Structure 1
Amino acid sequence: MIRILLFLVLIGALALGFSWLADRPGELVMVFGGYRFQVSVLVAAVVIVAIVAVAMLAWWVLKAIWTGPQRVGRYFRGRRRDRGYQALSTGMIAAGAGDAVLAQKMKERAAKLIRVDQEPLLHLLDAQTALLKGDHAAARRRFEAMAADPETRILGLRGLYLEALRAGEREAARNYAEKAVALSPQLEWASEAAMEQRCAEGDWDKALTILAQQKATKQVDKTRYNRRRAVLLTAKALSNLNNAPDIARTSALEAHALTPDFVPAAATAARALIRANDISKAQKILETTWKRNPHPELASLYVAGCRGDGAEDRLKKAQRLEKLHPNHREGALAIARAAIDAGKFEIARLNAEAALRMGPREDVYLVYADIEEVETGNQGRVREWLARAVRAPREAAWVADGYVSNRWLPFSPLDGRIDVFEWKAPVEQEEPADLLNVQLADKFRQEDHRSLTLDKAAAFDAPNAAGQDISETAPAKRVASLAALKAEPREDVPVIIESDVSEDTPPQQEGLRQPDDPGIGDPGEGAEKAVSAPSKQTARGGNLF
């Protein structure tokens, strides 16, 4: 368009020039070789323009003749290159679609039309074709050739990284990723793999440096950056909690400031502060996180954080903590456990019942078992609650990719991904639709230790409760008892669970026995002996620090 406008402007200028000369008559006289030439100015201008046009035409013809062979050669080379790129494009599409035959055919055609040194993508097509054919050794050789070429080095490292992951060579994969991130820090896959490598090695400072690079290159937003930094700082604090308490305290406090609802950060900061004898600050941190995210570990640290507190003091702490986030299962259970230690069994039962109304779970039944053990010592009822704990939904634990851990970990031990552990039930299970389990709790509380048979108690079971193993976070003192109950053969006849039988109780039928009587020659004798009497400690006892 611009050329057309320029051409029109030039024609217009020439027309105006000739018109101007025509309106102004004059003569041009030239003497040359004894001859005198006299013409008008307009004719002279026309002759000059014609001479210039002829000269330009002659130059164009001579140039076309001189450069003709080169032009013809470039035309055929361009046509050959276009055919090669067309074959390369078709081959890449075929490789992406999984058509190994067409990809191989197009690769061979493109290799004939395009030189490899001119188009490095031929290596990529060759590698993709080899992968489709299952020749991983050939694919790796192609990726290595690409990694040696500065133009395709990143692409080659990416291919080698994926091949190493496929072969299960995680160490080699992370080495390739570190090389890639050194060349191009903005690569998300490379920086992520390099960070996972540093986390696996426990080099938290280097992992934090990589995270800062991710933020600088805008790979992560502010929210994700704060979360990941809190995770890495918490991991750093945990690793230094024993040998460098000052570093642990500083790191944990920064992590808590970044994400106040992150339970591991708050718990680690509280432990570090308690070791430094800063109890009040530790309690403030625990209260802040509890308001946002109640968790049993926070309750344990808050209630039993000060070693000099008595049972009554721990109960008051549990009640104060529960008021910060009322009507929550963990708060009710914390009060129930503290009340057991303080001998306030009515308070313990009321709070255990409140937790049960929020949903039956394994730890709730274990608290009921502790109440019966400490208050009455009735092993029949203890075993009854343990039997219900076996069939109840498992209590929450730290879960990542199906891996269940009794403590939080900064990365998955299965694939190395960061911040994947969640606090949830290891096995998802539908909760009962009614409150029959709560009715069972009321029954035990109201009957005042009267006799109750197992078939009568079974009427309070939820119809859809399924049996399952206890989680690894269950109290250690109940594991043997629960395992024995699961191994014990079931009987269809009712068994009296009360140890004290009134005089008007009909005599036992032959073959019936008390639940605590192992019997003689019974097939479940080994399982019965495995049931040991629970200790007088509460289910959550133990060293918190």
Structure 2
Amino acid sequence: MLRILFFVLVVLVLGGGFAWLADRPGDLTITFAGMRYEVTLMVAATAVVAVVAAVMLIWWLIKSIIRSPYALQRHFRARKRDRGYQSLSTGLIAAGAGDARAARNMAKQAGKLLNVDQEPLIKLLEAQTAMLEGRTGDARAKFEAMLDDPETRLLGLRGLYIEAQRAGARDAAQHYAAEASKLAPHVEWASGAVLGRLSVAGDWDEALKLLDARKADQQTDKETAKKERAALLTAKAISTFDSDPAGAKTAALEAHKLAPDLVPAAVIAARALFRQDDLRKGTKILETAWKSSPHPDIAQAYVHARPGDSVLDRLKRARRLFTLRPNNPEASLALAHAALDAGEFKLARENAEAVLRMAPRESAYLLLADIEEGETKDQGRVRQWLSRAVKAPRDPAWTADGFVSEQWAPVSPVTGRLNAFEWKVPVEQLPSMIDLDPDVRGPEPETPALPVIIEPEPAAPQPTRVEAITTTPAKDEKQPEPQPKPKGNEAKPTRDKGDKGEEVKMLVVDDPGVIPDEKAEDTQTRFRLF
């Protein structure tokens, strides 16, 4: 744009100059070598301009001829570089798509067209190609070569970290994450891995230092920074509650100040205050947290604020919580538990049934079973509530990345993400003993087929129907000794085939919780199964 304006300006100046000379006629006389030349001013100005333009044109031609080899070389070099970057781009796309063959071909082509030492992306493409083809040693060597270049050092550490995780070398992975965290504390994967390791080790001071370094090195949301620091301070207070009560109190109060909605922070802060006989301040913290987010941990800490309180005193405190949030399932559940402990069965039943009306859950049915056991001793009703509890929706629990925990934790054990646990209903229940290490859970118990002993039972007003299933042991297992057949009225087991062709015996007897039909056959009697 500036060149165009400059050209237009020059044309205007020349035009104006020629117009000015045309309005002022005159002659120009030149004497050279005894010869006298007379020309008009217009002709003289035109000749001067033409000479200047010819000189400029000749200079441009000479310069173009002199620089033509370099320009031609630069043209071919730029064309080669463009082809190389096109191959590099295509190779990275192929590596991302999982096409190892195309990625390998493009990596070779890019290596020929580009300078490997000046283009670090070629090393990345070669390492990704090796990872796709399963050549872990070559991939590791490529990533280790990146450590020598300051520009690719972080990239090499990331690749080595991923390879160590794939190989199951956790110590090596933590080492690479720690090096990356020192190099760039703001990198999420590195700081998250180090925070997870420090949290498992219980080194909360180092975790807080790392968190401060990460926050100082990047622009993060202030609220997020406060919640992450509050989570680490809460974990520190929980771990040092017994060994250092004063330090636990300081950390817990700071955590509660940073994140008032964090339930574990409020609970541990109140417990620390209760331990130092500051009942008023601890109660105020719990009441404030309860108003914003009712939680069973808050109710437990509030009701049992003083260990020496009687059951009636605890019931009184539970009533206080109920008045703060009257139409809430957690408030009704806490009052029902306190009433059951105090022997107020009617109050406990009313609040437990209120929970079922507001938000049916497993714990409410179990509580009604306990109430039935304590008030009426009716085993039939107890079993009825227990059977409903099996089919009821699960209670909320601390959940992070699909992992369900009974207690809150500052980081996710799955991904290492900080402040990941949420209080919600888990999607599915994780097995408790199946995933444990064999050394932890012990040897698998043998399950031989046990004999079924059947005895006549006296008549009961409410019979029960029980199904006993016995599987036939395998051929290589030790067969149990045959049992004598019961005489008199005996139940004949029915035989059926299992999914794998195993013979299954099914013994069907009456349920003592259901009144038998008077028109039933005489062979159908009541039995007790031991």
The normalised TM-score by structure 1 is 0.73
Closer, same or farther: CA 21–263 of 1 in aligned 2, 3 Å: same
Q: Are the counterparts in 1 of residues 509 and 525 from structure 2 also a CA contact under 8 Å?
A: no
Assess, with a 3 A threshold, how the Cα gap between structure 1 residues 261 and 53 changes in structure 2: closer, same or farther.
closer
Aligned match of 2:147:
147
- Alpha carbons 1:199, 1:411 under 8 Å: kept: yes
Partner of 1:82: 82
Please give the secondary structure, in 2, of the residue aligned with 1:412. Answer: coil
Contact 1:186 1:219 in 2 (8 A): no
State the AA in 2 paired with 1:453.
Q
- 1:493 alignment partner in structure 2: 510
Q: Tell me the equivalent position of 1:47.
A: 47
Corresponding letter in the other structure for 2:371: I
> What is the correspondence of 1:230-379 to structure 2 with a 5 Å cutoff?
230-375=230-375
1:18 aligned residue: 18
Partner of 1:512: 527
Q: Which amino acid aligns with 2:511?
A: P
Q: Determine if contact 1:188/1:219 at 8 Å carries over to the other structure.
A: no
Closer, same or farther in 2 for the Cα pair 1:491/1:280, shift >3 Å?
A: farther
CA contact (8 A) 1:81 1:113 kept: yes
User: Do the aligned partners of 2:234 and 2:255 also contact (CA within 8 Å) in 1?
Assistant: yes
Structure 1 stretch displaced more, 37-46 or 311-320: 37-46
Q: 1:490 to 1:405 in 2, by over 3 A?
A: farther
Give the number of the structure with larger relative contact order, counting CA–CA contacts within 8 Å between residues 6 or more apart.
Answer: 1
**How far did 1:232 drift?**
1.7
**What SS does the corresponding residue of 2:326 show, helix, strand or coil?**
coil
Q: Which amino acid aligns with 2:510?
A: V
Number of residues paired by the alignment? 453
User: Which amino acid counterpart does residue 317 of structure 1 have in structure 2?
Assistant: R
| Aligned positions of 1:146-185 closer than 5 A | 146-185=146-185
Q: Is the 8 A contact 1:234 1:264 kept in 2?
A: yes
**Shift of residue 10, structure 1, vs aligned partner:** 1.4
Give 1:213 shift: 5.0
Describe the SS at the equivalent of 2:106.
helix
SS in 1 for 2:527: coil
Q: In 2, distance between residues paired with 1:428 and 1:95?
A: 36
- Equivalent residue, structure 2, for 1:114: 114
Amino acid at match of 1:512: F
Give distance in 2, aligned partners of 1:390 and 1:27.
Answer: 119
2:165 counterpart letter in structure 1: L
Q: Name the CA distance, whole Å, in 2 between partners of 1:190 and 1:228.
A: 16
Contact preservation (8 Å) 1:87, 1:110:
yes
For residues 226 and 237 of structure 2, what CA distance do their matches in structure 1 show?
A: 16
How far does residue 371 in structure 1 lie from its aligned partner after superposition?
A: 3.4
Mapped partners of 1:427, 1:101: distance in 2: 41
The alpha carbon displacement at 1:264 in A equals: 1.0
1:234 Cα deviation (Å)?
A: 0.9
Task: Spell out, residue by residue over 1:33-67, the C-alpha distance to the aligned partner (whole angstroms, 9 max, x if none).
Answer: 55555544433333333332333233223322322
1:130–1:136 contact (8 Å) kept in structure 2: yes
| Contact in 2 for aligned 1:198/1:207 (Cα 8 Å) | yes
**1:105 aligns to what?**
105
Question: For 1:151, what is the secondary structure of its paired residue?
Answer: coil
Q: Counterpart of 2:4?
A: 4
Counterpart-to-counterpart distance in 2, 1:268 and 1:454:
50
1:459-499: CA deviation from partner (whole Å, max 9, x where unpaired):
xxxxxxxxxxxxxxxxxxxxxxxxxxxxxx986313279xx
The equivalent residue for 1:453 is: 462
Q: Distance in 2 between matches of 1:367 and 1:221?
A: 43
Distance of 1:111 and 1:181 partners within structure 2: 31
Cα deviation, residue 271, structure 1: 1.0
Match in the other structure for 1:434: none
Which is further off, 270-279 or 34-43? Answer: 34-43
Distance 1:491 1:412, change over 3 A: farther
**Which residue of structure 1 aligns with residue 226 of structure 2?**
226
What is residue 398 of structure 2 aligned with on the other side?
A: 398
Change (3 A) 1:162 1:496: closer
8 Å contact from structure 1 (residues 394, 427) kept in 2: no
1:515-530 to structure 2, matched below 5 A, reads: 524=530
Q: Deviations along 1:45-98, whole A, 9 cap, x unmatched?
A: 333333323332332233223222222222222222222222222222222332
The residue number in structure 1 matching 2:454 is: none
- CA displacement at 1:416 relative to structure 2: 2.2
Structure 2 alignment gaps of length 5 or more: 430-459, 466-505, 515-523
CA distance in 2, matches of 1:68, 1:397: 76
Aligned to 1:438: none
Q: CA deviation at 1:18?
A: 2.5
2:517 maps to which residue? Answer: none
Partner of 2:443: none
Moved more, 231-240 or 151-160: 151-160
Paired residue secondary structure (2:152): helix
Superposed displacement of residue 393, structure 1: 4.5
Which amino acid letter does the alignment assign opposite residue 125 of structure 1? L
Cα pair distance change 1:65/1:364, threshold 3 Å:
closer
CA RMSD of aligned residues (A): 3.3
Query: Could you tell me which amino acid in structure 2 is paired with residue 124 of structure 1?
Result: L
User: Within 2, Cα distance between the matches of 1:66 and 1:333?
Assistant: 94
Whole-Å Cα distance in 2 between the matches of residues 7 and 120 of structure 1? 44
* 1:311-352 deviation digits (Å, cap 9, x = unpaired): 221111111111111133332232233223323233223333
Q: Distance in 2 between matches of 1:490 and 1:243?
A: 57
Decide whether aligned partners of structure 1 residues 428 and 177 sit closer, same or farther in structure 2, where only a CA change above 3 A counts. closer
Q: How far off its partner does 1:122 sit? A: 1.3
The 1:362/1:17 distance shift into structure 2, 3 A limit, reads closer
Residue matched to 2:95? 95
Give the conservation status (yes or no) of the 8 Å contact 1:92–1:125: yes
Separation in structure 1 between the aligned mates of residue 62 and residue 424 of structure 2, nearest angstrom: 85
Q: Using the TM superposition, give the Cα deviation of residue 385 of structure 1 relative to its aligned residue in structure 2, in angstroms.
A: 4.9
Higher helix share: 1
Query: What is the letter of the counterpart of residue 59 of structure 1?
Result: W
Deviations 1:391-410 (CA, angstroms, capped at 9, x unpaired): 55444433334433322111
Q: Which letter maps to 1:399? A: T
State the shift of 1:202 in Å.
2.8
Q: CA deviation at 1:291?
A: 1.7
How far has the Cα of 1:141 moved from its partner? 2.0
- The 1:341–1:16 alpha-carbon spacing in structure 2 relative to 1, beyond 3 Å, is closer
Q: Is the 8 A contact 1:214 1:220 kept in 2?
A: no
- Where 1:423 maps in the other structure, the secondary structure is strand
1:380-395 matches, cutoff 5 A:
385-386=385-386, 389=389, 392-395=392-395
C-alpha separation in 1, matches of 2:349 and 2:336 = 7
Q: 1:58 to 1:333 in 2, by over 3 A?
A: closer
CA contact (8 A) 1:100 1:129 kept: yes
